[in-house]
Chains A and B, each alone.
Chain A
């Protein structure tokens, strides 16, 4: 009577399927196109997402054709450097899975170690279960999953949380999808010490770093969302900015670009306000001038260089 998952089974098995219509009905074409448009770069990620979406679609059709179909294991792990879009893709993934009817509600519960692991004996299990219950019917996104396991302290409560997670991941595969995310190397050592996790996750997706050209497109997309645009000279300046920023410490891909864009907006506002004796037009308000970009300390060798001068 209510929204039952996998509700597309019919009495007599069908034999012919219009694939295009099926894909459109499931909303795959839309979702994948949107993914292509809104996420810059990330080729391997997009390929994997497309593969998963195709599998889910075929699985659904197989079910209707009366062929054997086992619910696929959908747990995933996303590894990659900071700011490569792991969280963004996780949110998108929930939408795709929901559209295909493989999760029933499509909510994303985003947690870290603090939400799962308790402070004292007997605190962890209820806490982890509470989160799992909330995530049922949707996606549980565990950011920086390696913090769950503390190899230096064997009495750490993280292990208890891991065991509960594994049990639910195995027994209630059709009720929720778990996505683990974290930085590459640390995830590898996390999986090495928890082989149970590695084998229960079907999709290990690696997020590559962005190329400079991709970062520029991302910056322009971000500016467009906020109602700004680069002037031609500013665009060139920003290209230089990206090339320099990438070589400096603590560079975190799209996140650094987002912060840079926010600071550029500050400088642009400051530049406009500094001269009160003029009339502004719309073009002034939305255009980023090269001066706004070039004032960044990245061009003076970055934050580290500045600190060493002061010291």
Chain B
């Protein structure tokens, strides 16, 4: 799995595309709401692919009619945590799904996180791989 493209972190939907504009985010959120999914805003400074536990911004928004409400919260979240990764996810609670149906990044820090794959040789020449976050770029420059 490719974790970054150039210096961009790739995670969730649309991450190989150019960053979504606010208008595009609004349409995606409206799509989620019209399907009856609960929309969540989450943020983190640790975007390791195995870190599933991002922090939530407020409560899941499941009783909204219009995306403008979510965008209002997103603007507020960006104001406070603009230097972190923020993603929006849509949770489908209907029977048989009961899981996240969509998740995409809506904010990146100015300095993107970088990861590398470290190979280790274990007992019996077994090979193990670890995803390690590189130290911040300004340290290596």
Contacts and interface: CB of A to CB of B under 8 A. Distances in A.
Contact of A104 (B27, B61, B63, B66): B66
Interface in A98-146: 104-105, 107, 126, 129, 132-134, 136-138
Contacts of B58: 126
Interface string B8-36: 00000000000000000001001100100
A137 B31 contact: no
B64 interface: yes
Tell which of A105, A133, A138 has the most Cβ of chain B within 10 Å: A133
Interface string B57-77: 010010111111110110000
B31 to A, nearest CB: 7
A138 B66 contact: yes
Query: Contact size class for B?
Result: 10 to 19
Interface residue SS majority, chain A? loop
A137 B65 contact: yes
A2 B31 contact: yes
A1 interface: yes
A107 B63 CA distance: 12
B68 A176 contact: yes
Tell which of B31, B67, B69, B73 has the most Cβ of chain A within 10 Å: B69
Contacts of B66: 104-105, 136-138, 175
B47 to A, nearest CB: 27
Interface string A1-43: 1100000000000000000000000000000000000000000
Interface residues of A, number: 17
A172 interface: yes
A137 B68 contact: yes
Contacts of B65: 105, 107, 134, 136-138
B69 A133 contact: yes
Contacts of A176: 68
Contacts of A107: 65
A105 B27 CA distance: 14
Nearest to B23: A4
B117 to A, nearest CB: 38
Contacts of A126: 58
14 contacts: A1-B27, A2-B30, A2-B34, A105-B65, A129-B72, A129-B73, A134-B64, A136-B65, A136-B66, A136-B68, A137-B68, A138-B65, A175-B68, A176-B68
Given A107-B65, A132-B69, A133-B73, 12 more contacts: A2-B31, A2-B34, A133-B70, A134-B69, A136-B66, A136-B68, A137-B65, A137-B67, A137-B68, A138-B65, A168-B72, A175-B68
